[in-house]
Amino acid sequence: MSRSVMIPSRDSRGWSPSRPGPRSAGTFGHRRRWAGGVLAFVTALAVAACSSGSSSKPAGVAAPDPAASVTVTPGDDMTGVTLTDHVVVRANAPLADVSVAREASASEKTETGVLLGTFSADRRTWTSTGGLFSDSRYQVAATTGPAARIVGTKSVRTSFVTGVPAKSFKVSWDPVAGQTVGVGAPISLTFSAPAPDRAAVQRMLSVRTDPPVLGAWNWISNRLVVWRPQQYWAPGTKVHVEADLAGYDAGGGRLGVKDRAMDFVVGSAQISKVDAAAHIMQVFRNGQLLRTMPVSLGKPTSPSMDGPHNVLGKSPEVIMDSATVGIPKGNPDYYYEKVQWAVNYTSGGQYVHSAPWSVASQGRANVSHGCVNASRADAQWFYGISRLGDIVDIANTGRPPDTSQLGNFWSVPWAVWKAGSALPVSDQPETAAPTAPAASTVVPGASGASGASGPSAVPGATGAGGA
């Protein structure tokens, strides 16, 4: 008898959903584990293919363009900003416009103004070139222009306030804003403290004239510097003076607290010729003789000073006290006189003034202590027509001028005068003449803006001259 052996088909070796029957747990579990491993492997490959170790962005996608931006230093609403600081505006696009406006300051007696500056070559940076004023608010406005790869434009407005230094470096001057002066008026600048670097300070000073005039600065001391034309001013000349000291570090904690500017004009040419030998004084205006006055000058023991002198100031009354010039009370030559209608022409105390006690000698002999004596009527008339900078030119006294005194600078030869400059002096006049008067940063009547010089500047002053 033969037997037949049945071999199960492939479908029957495991469970088939179309075929009911018992399932082999072991075989099913093995297959699930294998299928799950394949799925995990494929998933890992997919994740790896979509990831990058250096960027979360797909390859080839460019970064977005940045928006326009502007930053301003000092920052917005800052206070107590140091005067030596600069205003700096930076942008990531070319700057179309930058303006910095300065508000008026009551404490510094300044008007409104602007702060100048320069752009970098790519116009993405603007830096101020002027100095900052003390106790002043500044308003900054800046705008960018369109630029490739920069989104839009940007405009900003900021403000800041400067501080007040413990010690300041200021300047006062003669003449003052708006004054009309004579043809011999020098420009005298007096600093509130010694200038540590004369050349550095002189670079901050300027004189512009219309028409152009050749002139030069001369340092009389480290606190006084004087500008004088080579020749007398021409009548009608317009003069503009600037001292841009704001932000200047003068050392010792002293800082320049503001810039100053002023304009004055030269009036008629009034030149008085005084002859000690002939005992007369002739007053000319624009070349025309106005009056010839008999006068008496200094006696042989106290002669008047020769040379062209420029009027420093005048007063209706001056006390002449010889003790102020080394002749004390008790000395035979001592004097103490109240004189009227006094026109001062040297800082050593020499005047043209009324001397009723010497009328008999006027036109005949020299009997004064160094001044030019005139009758009351003549002195009052001369006082009335005199102004700062007029020339009183005295001759034949035998006494040379003392050029260390104010009023005697016209006796200094031009070559010697310009050698007193801290910077080289051009032999050509300044051609950038003023086209219009600049607004002064000083309120009229403010401290330091005196219109006269020397001890005779106020009524009742005490002079150091000779009656």
Hey, which residues are catalytic here? 353, 371
What is the distance between the alpha carbons of residues 408 and 400, in angstroms, rounded to a whole number?
10
Spatial contact of 95 and 123, defined as CB atoms under 8 Å apart: yes
DSSP code at position 175 = S
Please give the Cα distance from 383 to 352 (Å, whole number).
8
Alpha carbons 388 and 148: distance in angstroms, whole number: 63
Backbone dihedral angles phi then psi of residue 282, each to the nearest 5 degrees: -110, 125
Q: Which two tokens stand for residue 251?
A: 């050392």
**Local structure of residue 152 (DSSP, 8 states):** S
Cα→Cα distances 352→236, 334, 386, Å: 26, 20, 11
- Tokens representing 76? 């917005």
Q: Is there a contact between 183 and 232 (Cβ–Cβ < 8 Å)?
A: yes
DSSP assignment of 405-455 equals STT-GGGS-HHHHHTT-SS---SS------SSPPPPSS-TT-TT--S--ST
